[in-house]
């Protein structure tokens, strides 16, 4: 069987890490016909938009995409294409597993948690305006529908992966209506899943707890902005952004992409760590039902990291992006 999958190389380090991931996936035995589509600043002049219609059409048709990061201008310019893509395709759940890798130096051992981030609303709804020249307003949208849906997803994931606890992260002590609604929905949904323990923690306290004892946590579910911040923070607990994969899941499709951005500071140097992108590919293979190939790649990546001989510079080594992929491929063959 051959799968049709959309490939968005992205920009910055995107083309480097996606090409490394594609090489590894192609060596896993799964046959994929990659439909390559470009988006972001590079296509604006030609299409008058950073996200041309063909991008959405391709993903809607293929239902699955592997995506590299795409740069968003800060404080001006076009709306994030990443956020637009998630909203247009209704990819409501952003899943980021944060797991300790043997061989990677970090202050913690045995971290194995999953951040389940609501992906469609909150301050990311993009509703903001100037009230006067000196006052700006951003509107935070939290709905029952999206909150129920993401918490249900967190419990479903917890069951599928034999996890024992789901914690809802919020700031309902201050945002009593918006985060209050999220928390109320979370508590109601938890009632239906008594076999999984449930708790809730305020986001500032959660940040402290994660830094103190990250190994205690299992599945964390939260609104969009907290998920964005805590997943980067949690990446720091296990060795950095180069190691954290991600999935954006919706009812009609899914886009798999590393948690990191386009890293303009290291783009084009062949030094980015492709692990996060390769592991996003692993999540993608599991999603399409190719668990055996996924396991093979994941084991090879873990073995290479554990061995510690071939590490990229973020992990203290000198191995290049493409070379890392080749070492993983060699490991898969053994």
Given the structure tokens 């909203």, which residue do they identify?
87
Tokens representing residue 329 in the block: 């491929």
Task: Check binding of 317 to ligand NAI (CB under 6 A).
Answer: no
Task: Check binding of 119 to ligand NAI (CB under 6 A).
Answer: no
The 21-50 contact track toward ligand NAI, x by CB under 6 A, reads: ------------------------------
Cβ atoms within 10 Å, residue 207: 17
Residue from the set 171, 260, 296, 331 that interacts with ligand NAI by CB under 6 A: 260
Interface segment toward ligand NAI; rule CB under 6 A; list 91-99, 211-219, 260-268, 299-307: 260-268
Nearer to ligand NAI, 13 or 98 (CB): 13
Cβ-closest position to ligand NAI: 261
Q: Which residues of 7-18 are buried (b: 16+ CB within 10 A; e: fewer)?
A: bbbbbbbbbbbb
The reply to whether 112 belongs to the active site is no
Nearest-5° angle of CA 113, CA 119, CA 122?
A: 110
Q: How far is the CB of 291 from ligand NAI (least distance, A)?
A: 25
Task: Check binding of 242 to ligand NAI (CB under 6 A).
Answer: yes
- Dihedral (Cα; 215, 216, 222, 225), 10-degree rounding: -40
User: Which region, left, alpha or beta, applies to residue 202 given φ > 0 means left and ψ of -120 to 50 means alpha?
Assistant: beta
The reply to whether 11 belongs to the active site is no
Residue from the set 5, 37, 39, 69 that interacts with ligand NAI by CB under 6 A: 69
The 266-285 contact track toward ligand NAI, x by CB under 6 A, reads: x-----xx--x---------
The reply to whether 124 belongs to the active site is yes
DSSP 80: P
Please choose, from the candidates 156, 222, 223, the residue with its C-alpha nearest in 3D space to the C-alpha of residue 195: 156
Tell which positions 78-107 bind ligand NAI, by CB under 6 A. Answer: 82
Nearer to ligand NAI, 17 or 168 (CB): 17
Asked if 281 contacts 271 with a C-beta cutoff of 8 angstroms, the reply is no
Tell which positions 6-25 bind ligand NAI, by CB under 6 A. Answer: 13, 17
Interface segment toward ligand NAI; rule CB under 6 A; list 95-103, 183-191, 262-270, 284-292: 262-270
- In sequence order, what DSSP letters do the residues of 203-272 get, joined into one string? HHHHHHHHHH-GGG--EEEE-HHHHHHHHHHHHHHHT-GGG---EEE-SS-EEE--SS---TTTTTTT-S
Residues contacting ligand NAI: total by CB under 6 A? 21
For the chain, give percent helix, strand, coil, nearest 5: 45, 20, 35
What is the contact surface with ligand NAI in residues (CB under 6 A)? 13, 17, 69-72, 82, 241-242, 257, 260-266, 272-273, 276, 314
Report the catalytic residues: 124, 171, 204, 228
């Amino acid at each position: 069987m051959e799968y049709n999958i959309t490939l968005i190389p992205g920009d910055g380090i995107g083309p480097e890490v996606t090409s490394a991931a594609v090489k590894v996936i192609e060596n896993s035995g799964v046959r994929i016909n990659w439909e390559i589509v470009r988006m972001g600043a590079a296509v604006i002049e030609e299409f008058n938009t950073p996200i041309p219609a063909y991008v959405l059409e391709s993903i809607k048709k293929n239902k699955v995409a592997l995506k590299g990061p795409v740069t968003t201008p800060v404080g001006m310019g076009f709306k994030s294409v990443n956020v637009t893509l998630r909203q247009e395709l209704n990819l409501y759940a952003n899943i980021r597993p944060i797991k300790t890798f043997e061989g990677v130096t970090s202050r913690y051992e045995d971290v194995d948690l999953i951040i389940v981030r609501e992906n469609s609303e909150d301050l990311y709804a993009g509703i903001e305006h100037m009230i006067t020249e000196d006052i700006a307003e951003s509107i935070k949208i939290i709905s029952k529908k999206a909150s129920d849906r993401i918490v249900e997803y967190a419990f479903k994931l917890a069951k599928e992966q034999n996890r024992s606890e789901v914690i809802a992260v919020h700031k309902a002590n201050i945002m009593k209506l918006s985060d209050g609604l999220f928390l109320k929905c979370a508590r109601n949904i938890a009632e239906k899943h008594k076999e999984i323990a449930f708790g809730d923690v305020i986001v500032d306290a959660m940040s402290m707890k994660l830094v103190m004892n990250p190994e205690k946590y299992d599945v964390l579910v939260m609104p969009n902005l907290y998920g964005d911040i805590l997943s980067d923070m949690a990446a720091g607990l296990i060795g950095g952004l180069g190691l954290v994969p991600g999935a954006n899941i919706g009812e009609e499709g899914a886009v798999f992409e590393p948690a990191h951005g386009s890293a303009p500071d290291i783009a084009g140097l062949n030094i980015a760590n492709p692990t996060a992108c390769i592991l996003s590919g692993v999540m993608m293979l599991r999603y399409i039902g190719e668990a055996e190939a996924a396991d093979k790649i994941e084991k090879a990546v873990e073995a290479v990291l554990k061995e510690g001989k071939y590490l990229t510079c973020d992990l203290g080594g000198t191995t290049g992006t493409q070379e890392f992929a080749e070492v993983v491929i060699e490991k898969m063959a053994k």
